[in-house]
Amino acid sequence: MDEAVRQRLRSRDLWMRALYMVFFAIVSVIARAVITLLAFVQFIAILLTGHANEPLLQLGNNLSAFVYQIIRFVTFVTETQPFPFSPWPDEAMDENPWTEDSAETVAQEAEAPEPDVSSDDK
């Protein structure tokens, strides 16, 4: 066996990284299950109220950023370990048509009658 390979096999840092990767892979599965639950709860909230629950929107946004950080770490894209070894992601929200203000606009547009596009040009 090549000496460089032997050195890597004895590298404590690489084996510690492997343990962190396994830990974060398990955390990722749990986080994705929570995201699925959030999606279901948001769907129910929109059915009942006509708009999304904004704290759950923010949680879903930050949780998806957390999963993204995990994926970047376990695929060796970055050496920065995700939360709890770095700050919790607090991502800014994009425009969302399901927020309370936007939901009213969407509902009004849905209730507006369709313009008549039939043509009597014969």
pLDDT tens string 17-34: 999 999 999 999 999 999
By the 8 A CB rule, do 7 and 42 touch? no
Using alpha carbons, select from 20, 3, 1 the residue that is nearest to residue 12: 20
| Segments forming the whole domain that contains residue 73 | 3-108
Task: Look up the pTM and report it.
Answer: 0.73
Q: Is residue 116 part of a domain?
A: no
What is the mean pLDDT of the segment spanning 60-80? 95
Predicted pLDDT of residue 2? 85
Predicted pLDDT of residue 5? 83
Using alpha carbons, select from 57, 53, 33 the residue that is nearest to residue 45: 53
Predicted pLDDT of residue 97? 79
Q: Which of 3-12, 61-70, 82-91 has the lowest mean pLDDT?
A: 3-12
By the 8 A CB rule, do 74 and 21 touch? yes
Q: Is residue 114 part of a domain?
A: no
Structure tokens that stand for 32 in this block: 């994705």
pLDDT tens string 87-114: 999 888 878 777 776 655 555 666 666 6
Q: Is residue 30 part of a domain?
A: yes
- For the chain, the domain total comes to 1
Q: Is the pLDDT assigned to residue 115 strictly greater than 80?
A: no
Residue with tokens 């009597």: 120
Distance of alpha carbon 22 from the chain centroid: 20
